[in-house]
Amino acid sequence: MTSYPPLHMYIDGEVVSGGSRRTQAIFNPATGETLGELPLADAADLDRALEAAQRGFRTWRNSTAQERATVLSGAARLLTERADELARIATMEEGKTLPEARIEVMMVAGLFNFYAGEVFRTYGRELVRPAGQRSTVRYEPVGPVAAFSPWNFPLGNPGRKLGAPIAAGCSVIMKSAEETPASALGILQSLYDAGLPKNVAQAVFGVPDEVSRHLLTSPIIRKLSFTGSTVIGKHLAKLAADDMKRTTMELGGHGAVLVFDDVDVDHVLNTMVGAKYRNSGQVCVSPTRFIVQEDIYEKFRMGFAERAKALKVGNGLDASVQMGPMANARRPDAMERLIGGAVKAGARLHTGGERLGNQGYFYAPTVLSEIPLDADIMNEEPFGPVALINPYRNADDMIAEANRLPYGLAAYAWTDDVKMQRRVAHDVETGMLGINSTMIGGADAPFGGVKWSGHGHEDGPEGLMACLVLKAVHEG
């Protein structure tokens, strides 16, 4: 049985904890039990990390493609060996079910393996020039990266923050979420154990605003990579702009799901209900606004509620559980505000709408319909186990609703009509679109949004390119 590991930071190759540092308690969201005490960085810790990241960058940018590939593929192999142990740690600190956590470990292993190959394909160009002249376009690592990742994918997010920069030859100071530190440290450990020099990737924790201000005002950091809410993303983008740092911003969404009346309703429900309540809905690409054509609306909302009600909610470590708790105390509070507000505004509550149990942060799988468009929940990312289902007359109305919000991360559409599939693909403003599918990612696929959902991509060749800068060299 895996026990929860001691917590620390990794700065310049040293395990850092204790001293006069402030600490933060880490909780198991299923039980409320304290798992450990996390040390928080002070200004001297952050300065040390910056100086080490500078040194780490100078050496790692000169590493060979083979050296980088060996580290990444070695870490992927170690993650596969450690998958069960890491999954248990992630479930303990974040709450998601064990199978979901295990998939996350394997997703990181897949990403590291992908980048182990992609590093050999970081080609430049040579331009046509007369004899004696030479012009080349080359890609170089952008420099030390400050990477801030959230708690909802405690293993996957740190994996994304580390894989591409390491493949590109950058160094990284990672501040992953304070709520889920052990998972992030597990990912970093796999890279160290595979031979990554320890000043190339470091882990700090702290008061988020203190850490981000300190790192983003340092000229050593050349890129910000952030995953989290739009509100914090806008704040950090402004800080980064002051020093013209490059940015990759993976921000919030409000996933639209267009369900046209030619579909097999039971098939769509069997797929989408699982996708909705995965990780208690705390997923940036979660299907959220179900935009359903009138003729199938009644059957759809009733079928959704029936399936949601039947889900087994409990501790993610229990093999029979289908949905765990929410990750922290802020989330059930947010559900009460958003769902309560919608019901007050006239929405119909079909199931859920309440906290569950008397320990941990459980919230029942919830289904609302006929929600007024001006209710907060129809405009703000709910990030929780709630499906919002409204009826629409035709494709024009459905596409208009999908594009109504300033978000554009993921959208989904269900129809067998090929013309309609093409229309949706053309007209819906989104970074990722699943047509008759919820599979919208992969190690080789760019992951990212448009509008307020951010800019830049992670994963795929695009994720690697985002860690490179271009230099044109002309020799006379």
By CB under 6 A, residue 247 contacts ligand NAD: no
Would you call 342 exposed, middle or buried from its count of C-beta atoms within 10 A (0-12, 13-18, 19+)?
Answer: buried
Is 250 part of the annotated catalytic residue set? yes
Build a one-symbol-per-residue string for 269-298: x at contacts with ligand NAD by CB under 6 A, - elsewhere.
---------------x--------------
Q: Which is nearer to ligand NAD, 139 or 452 (by Cβ)?
A: 452
Q: Which of 190, 199, 129, 127 is nearest to 155 (CA)?
A: 190
Report yes or no: 123 and 208 within 8 Å, Cβ to Cβ: no
Phi/psi of residue 363, each to 5°?
-135, 135
Single residue of 100, 104, 250, 429 touching ligand NAD by CB under 6 A = 250
Q: How many angstroms separate the CA atoms of 25 and 179, rounded?
A: 9
By CB under 6 A, residue 151 contacts ligand NAD: yes
By CB under 6 A, residue 383 contacts ligand NAD: yes
Closest CB 153 distance from ligand NAD, rounded Å: 7
Q: How many angstroms separate the CA atoms of 34 and 180, rounded?
A: 12
Q: How many angstroms separate the CA atoms of 339 and 223, rounded?
A: 38
Output the DSSP codes for 163-232: HHHHHHT--EEEEE-TTSHHHHHHHHHHHHHTT--TTTEEE--S-HHHHHHHHHTSTT--EEEEES-HHH
Is 14 part of the annotated catalytic residue set? no
Closest CB 17 distance from ligand NAD, rounded Å: 19
Near ligand NAD in 32-71, by CB under 6 A: none
Q: Which is nearer to ligand NAD, 178 or 429 (by Cβ)?
A: 178
Active-site residue identified among 94, 170, 178, 284: 284
Q: How many angstroms separate the CA atoms of 385 and 280, rounded?
A: 5
Which tokens sit at 84? 């069960």
Q: Which of 365, 200, 394 is nearest to 295 (CA)?
A: 394
Single residue of 189, 225, 227, 280 touching ligand NAD by CB under 6 A = 227
Closest CB 221 distance from ligand NAD, rounded Å: 13
Near ligand NAD in 299-328, by CB under 6 A: none
Residues 364, 330, 334, 284, CA torsion sign: negative
By CB under 6 A, residue 251 contacts ligand NAD: yes
Single residue of 115, 148, 363, 452 touching ligand NAD by CB under 6 A = 148
Residues 428, 431, 437, 438, CA torsion sign: negative
Single residue of 14, 33, 81, 209 touching ligand NAD by CB under 6 A = 209
Q: Which of 57, 4, 42, 1 is nearest to 186 (CA)?
A: 4
Q: Which is nearer to ligand NAD, 82 or 96 (by Cβ)?
A: 96
Report yes or no: 7 and 39 within 8 Å, Cβ to Cβ: yes
Closest CB 44 distance from ligand NAD, rounded Å: 19
| Total of residues contacting ligand NAD (CB under 6 A) | 21
By CB under 6 A, residue 9 contacts ligand NAD: no
Closest CB 39 distance from ligand NAD, rounded Å: 16
Active-site residue identified among 93, 250, 381, 429: 250
Q: Which is nearer to ligand NAD, 225 or 322 (by Cβ)?
A: 225
Q: Which is nearer to ligand NAD, 110 or 449 (by Cβ)?
A: 449
Q: Which is nearer to ligand NAD, 177 or 265 (by Cβ)?
A: 177
- With CB under 6 A as the contact rule, which of the stretches 245-253, 335-343, 399-407, 467-475 interacts with ligand NAD? 245-253
Q: How many angstroms separate the CA atoms of 329 and 122, rounded?
A: 44
- Helix, coil or strand: residue 114: helix
Q: How many angstroms separate the CA atoms of 222 and 173, rounded?
A: 11
Q: Which residues bind ligand NAD (CB under 6 A)?
A: 148, 150-152, 177-178, 208-209, 212, 227-229, 232, 236, 250-252, 284, 330, 381, 383
Catalytic residues: 250, 284
